[in-house]
Amino acid sequence: MAYKNLELYVHIPFCMKKCDYCDFLSFSADERTQRDYVAALCKEIEYYGKQIGHLYEVSTVFLGGGTPSWLDTEYMEAIMATLKKAFRIREDAEITVECNPGTVTLQKLVAYKNAGINRLSIGCQSADAQELKLLGRVHTFEQFLKTYELARTVGFQNINVDLISCLPHQTAEKFLKTLQTVLRLKPEHLSVYTLIIEEGTPFYERYKFDDVRQQAGMQTEELPTEDEAYRIYKMTQAYLTENGYEQYETSNYAKPGFACRHNIGYWRRENYLGLGLGAASLLENIRYSNTRDLYQYLTDCYQITQDPDKAGYGNNLHESVSELSRKEQMEEFMFLGLRMPEGVYRSDFEKAFAMPMDVIYRDVIEELKEQELLISKEGRVTLTDKGRDLSNYCMAKFLL
């Protein structure tokens, strides 16, 4: 039997303290809440294993948060054991867990490795002490170094380091120092995100007016200007490329062979199942997300195991459910695929939609080619360097 490919995302919403810029679904919680959550999560995993586990083969697992490494070791072991029992996980599956410095020990990392986790994503964000304090991080750079050293000691050979650029008062020269410091460690992967001022965060209250100025191309007071933000991005791109990292997506760089397979699956619209509070899924072109209410989640995870008739798409676990129209599928196929330098292959489009790409997008492609934002070659369309700099404009063109 040929199994379909499936990616799993498991959300652990707990963290020691919410960072000032963060708008993810995360919060601190006592030990009892964590215990109850893991029990409920395992029930959800078991349920979906019974419902769809026989149809799919799992190629990647990503445990994100929050701070998954904040969980006690026994809880992480229970989650991994339940996943392995419920789903057919490939021997070569990429299994990632997000870690924050100061939340892991040698024993915890050994347990991760023994449980089958083979990739770590460590949240560093900056090598500058003042910037870490500004971000509201609860760790120092020295703690990051210790965590990284422990991971190598245990034998992890696939490590991502998260960084954030365009922080208040940051220049290209200042961010370059962080890049230089981190690259001395030779991580296999770097995710370099540009700071976004999200409504509802302490950063929004601090910098909302400066954010408006930045977006309008005006002189800012604390955030980098639009021109400086662009300079930081181009410097990052050039420096990491010079040092052997391939930019395989807008914010992600990897040494050859170490691009994150889980991320690539999102951009190629692979089926993925989100498990846990607020987790999103895309299964056979049905997109849905779990409830973000913790009490509701705990209650309904128990309910779906007691009364399967109340499970499935549209149960109380699901905050929203929508079946993507053919038009929406085409739009996503194009603007997600164009995030990657290799672009979108015409043969893949035709295979997915049983018609040539030019039937739908000929005028758009020609327009962007004339503007030198897109090129069509070797059976694929891809953005030029100029097009990637104006990616939001380009992506919008593919909305039907």
Is the overall model pTM greater than 0.75, yes or no?
A: yes
Question: Does the pLDDT value for residue 309 go beyond 60?
Answer: no
Question: Does the pLDDT value for residue 312 go beyond 80?
Answer: no
Q: What is the mean pLDDT of the chain?
A: 94
- pLDDT computed for residue 315 by the predictor: 54
- pLDDT computed for residue 314 by the predictor: 43
pLDDT digits (tens, 9 = 90+) for 234-256: 999 999 999 999 999 999 999 99
- pLDDT computed for residue 317 by the predictor: 73
Question: Does the pLDDT value for residue 306 go beyond 90?
Answer: no
- pLDDT computed for residue 307 by the predictor: 64
- pLDDT computed for residue 318 by the predictor: 77
Q: How many CB atoms lie within 10 A of CB 196?
A: 12
- In 3D space, the residue among 24, 23, 30 whose CA is nearest the CA of residue 11 turns out to be 24
pLDDT digits (tens, 9 = 90+) for 140-189: 999 999 999 999 999 999 999 999 999 999 999 999 999 999 999 999 99
Strands 56-65 and 4-12 turn out to be parallel
CB 10 within 8 A of CB 242: no
Handedness of CA 231, 233, 239, 242 (dihedral sign): negative
Work out the average pLDDT over 46-52.
Answer: 93
Work out the average pLDDT over 192-207.
Answer: 95
Question: Does the pLDDT value for residue 313 go beyond 90?
Answer: no
For the ranges 106-115, 187-196, 245-254, 317-326, the lowest mean pLDDT is seen at 317-326
- In 3D space, the residue among 3, 97, 37 whose CA is nearest the CA of residue 276 turns out to be 37
Q: In terms of residues, how long is the chain?
A: 400
Question: Does the pLDDT value for residue 48 go beyond 60?
Answer: yes
Q: What percent of the chain has pLDDT over 70?
A: 97
Question: Does the pLDDT value for residue 5 go beyond 60?
Answer: yes
For residue 224, what pLDDT band results from cuts at 50, 70 and 90?
very high
CB 272 within 8 A of CB 6: yes
Q: How many CB atoms lie within 10 A of CB 220?
A: 21
Work out the average pLDDT over 291-299.
Answer: 94
- pLDDT computed for residue 291 by the predictor: 93
For residue 304, what pLDDT band results from cuts at 50, 70 and 90?
confident
For residue 64, what pLDDT band results from cuts at 50, 70 and 90?
very high
CB 331 within 8 A of CB 320: no
Handedness of CA 232, 214, 210, 22 (dihedral sign): negative
- pLDDT computed for residue 242 by the predictor: 98
Position 167, amino acid: L
Copy the structure tokens of residue 277.
């509070």
CB 249 within 8 A of CB 340: yes
Work out the average pLDDT over 305-325.
Answer: 69
Residue ranges and CATH numbers for the domains of the chain are 4-267 (3.80.30.20), 326-397 (1.10.10.920)
